[in-house]
Amino acid sequence: MANPLSTLGIIHTVISLAPVVAGLYGFARYGAIVPGTRSGKLYLAAIILAVLTSAGLSSTGGFNAGHALGIVTLLVIGGSLAAQRLEFFGRLRPYLATLGLSFSYFLLIVPAIAETLKRLPASQPLASGPESPIVQTTLLAWLVIFLAGLSVQAYLIHRRAVVGARAPRSR
């Protein structure tokens, strides 16, 4: 039988579903997680709450890789939000902001994959831990999907910049 979830584990799982859904909506609707939209604000608030609630979870009884991933996620989000405002990044600003938030989504899904495969189906989980072949294969597939999505986003940002540069300027 799968490891039962603690009360905090259940709360964390429910909170963690919100950025998954909000991020998917942002990607489907805008091609990115856009902080100024309702879905973008929900994504940011919920992922921060998810990281904070994960701090109280530990199967090892102390600081673990999941906690480190949460810290990296918060740093990536902070850097992405700051990048858009920092003039010295110049034309890289939209790339850093957009691709950084997409990377935070990638990081959000990594532990979700491992934990889901380790716990479901409840009667006979598909994986015993992060080293299981099914987890490793699924993470590799997720990496390929992420890199393909990142490529599409970078292309669309570039295309918007080129079209914007060609547009006649009003006087």
The pTM of the whole model exceeds 0.95: no
Each residue's pLDDT tens digit, 62-86: 888 888 999 999 999 999 999 999 9
Average per-residue pLDDT in the chain? 91
Residue 76: other Cβ atoms inside 10 A: 19
In degrees and rounded to multiples of 5, residue 132 shows phi and psi of: -60, 140
Higher per-residue pLDDT: 1 or 36? 36
Task: Output the six-digit token pair for 23.
Answer: 């991020």
Each residue's pLDDT tens digit, 131-162: 999 999 999 999 999 999 999 999 999 998 88
